[in-house]
Amino acid sequence: MPMLGVHKRMLHQPLHGLDGFPARALLQNRRKYGRYISGGVMKNKTKKNHFSPVFANQYWTSEVSGWHYKYYYYCPYRKCVVDSQKDKGKTAWGYEFHLYSQELEDRLDSELENDSAPLYEKLLNNDTLDADERMKWGQFIVTQSMRTPSFFKYRDELEKAHGGDESYKETIIGCQWCEDNKYVACRDWIILEAAEDDFFVRTDNPVYMTGFLQNPSTTIFYPLSPKKCFVACSFIEMRFTLIGEELPFPKQEVLKLEKGDAYKINFDLIKSASTSLIVAKSDNNRVISKMNVELLGAFPQIPFMLSSAENDYAESIEIEKIIQLMSYSDGIEYPEYREYELKPFYGVEFSMGINPFSVFGVTNERLKELHPEIEI
């Protein structure tokens, strides 16, 4: 696969600071209101910084729903998850005030989102991306995993502990050919399609990672719409090729899920949220409402991009450090380790009769072979 000219993204070097940090300091917002000049034109500063782009969120709403989302959120005053009786408008979710500098906001728009939106559409339409497009999509996924308030909260804590500041935010966008992107681009991709009446939610940690980017066993999930979810699969670590033979170009396939599978994925997505999520109004029901209220943010997405690990042993050591940071930052004693049931996922399991998203662990076809008396 032609991916020459790869550059390192400085932000993602291993952080030795995870080995310890002093007492927590108060976070301060130093952003200022006002106007700025761009291209000789006076413009208003962007106050609402969308960490989940509107062009991506829009698939959870429609004209039929009045361009509104069903909204669930954690209320710090009531100290519980709220099933909001007030829906959110098309642009009224997935942002925080003054989350980025104006320069970064403009760069996210011009250097990332403008080029990523057409790729988003191509994936929704099951169109195959070429090598260059794969690297750009890798940049989108990697950046999306780090542009959230949740990631910033933990990174800010680490920076403050070691005399740093928020300047790291300006580097999260990277470039199309940054090295980290290849860990998305070089994996096999699966577009999961939810079964009839099943669906995916969107959380404020939109990218769900089961491990460090460099670890071959890691799987990356990113719902594209209520009906489709992008998956960058775990690497098959050993591939035998003839001398002089090139490795095959990574696959991009579509997989139709069986009934109930999407709920298994939603279980982990909801649990990995930070403080809120949206559901398409037409999909909201008693089951998903109960899941959201009971599970939302129970164990937020581990900010794997704070460090790196290339195997499961190294990963377990780094995870322990990061969870300590999360527990200290959130004032919650999280378990020392989190088990990821959706890891690894190679994308070939269904062809072998294995369904990792099913409570039975096998596909319906295989289940009928094993237990013909069961009606499915």
- Residue 374 has a pLDDT of 75
Task: Report in angstroms the alpha-carbon separations of 328 from 25, 75, 77, 129, 321.
Answer: 12, 20, 20, 41, 11
pLDDT tens profile 223-270: 999 999 999 999 986 555 456 556 688 999 999 999 999 999 999 999
Q: Partners of 230 in the beta sheet?
A: 191, 222
- Averaged confidence pLDDT in the chain: 87
73 Rama class: left (phi>0) / alpha (psi -120 to 50) / beta: beta
Residue 216's φ and ψ, nearest 5 degrees, are -60, -30
**Residue 71 near residue 14, CB atoms below 8 Å:** no
What's the mean pLDDT in 100-119?
96
- Report CA 305 to chain centroid distance, whole Å: 11
pLDDT tens profile 16-74: 444 443 322 222 222 223 434 445 554 678 899 999 999 999 999 999 999 999 999 99
**Residue 219 near residue 141, CB atoms below 8 Å:** no
pLDDT band at 152 (very low <50, low <70, confident <90, very high): very high
Residue 42's φ and ψ, nearest 5 degrees, are -75, 125
* pLDDT over 50 at 112, yes or no: yes
Q: Partners of 35 in the beta sheet?
A: 44
- Residue 4 has a pLDDT of 27
* pLDDT over 70 at 365, yes or no: yes
Q: What is the DSSP string of 85-152?
A: SSPEETTSSSEEET-S-HHHHHHIIIIIIHHHHHHHHHHHTTPPP-HHHHHHHHHHHHHHHHSSHHHH
Please tell me the distance from the alpha carbon of residue 185 to that of residue 136, in angstroms, as a whole number: 8
pLDDT tens profile 186-220: 999 999 999 999 999 999 999 999 999 999 999 99
- Residue 45 has a pLDDT of 84
Residue 18's φ and ψ, nearest 5 degrees, are -70, -10
Q: State which amino acid sits at residue 285.
A: N
Please tell me the distance from the alpha carbon of residue 103 to that of residue 115, in angstroms, as a whole number: 18
The closest of 84, 55, 62, 60 to 275, measured between CA atoms, is 84
pLDDT tens profile 285-326: 999 999 999 999 999 999 999 999 999 999 999 999 999 999
Q: Which two tokens stand for residue 9?
A: 């993204």
Lowest pLDDT segment from 18-32, 61-75, 105-119, 148-162:
18-32
Alpha helices by DSSP H, listed for the chain, are 54-57, 102-107, 114-124, 131-146, 149-161, 182-185, 261-271, 286-295, 312-330, 364-370
Dmax of the chain from CA atoms?
74
Whole-prediction pTM: 0.88
pLDDT band at 337 (very low <50, low <70, confident <90, very high): confident
Residue 165's φ and ψ, nearest 5 degrees, are -145, -165
- Residue 14 has a pLDDT of 37
Q: Partners of 71 in the beta sheet?
A: 278
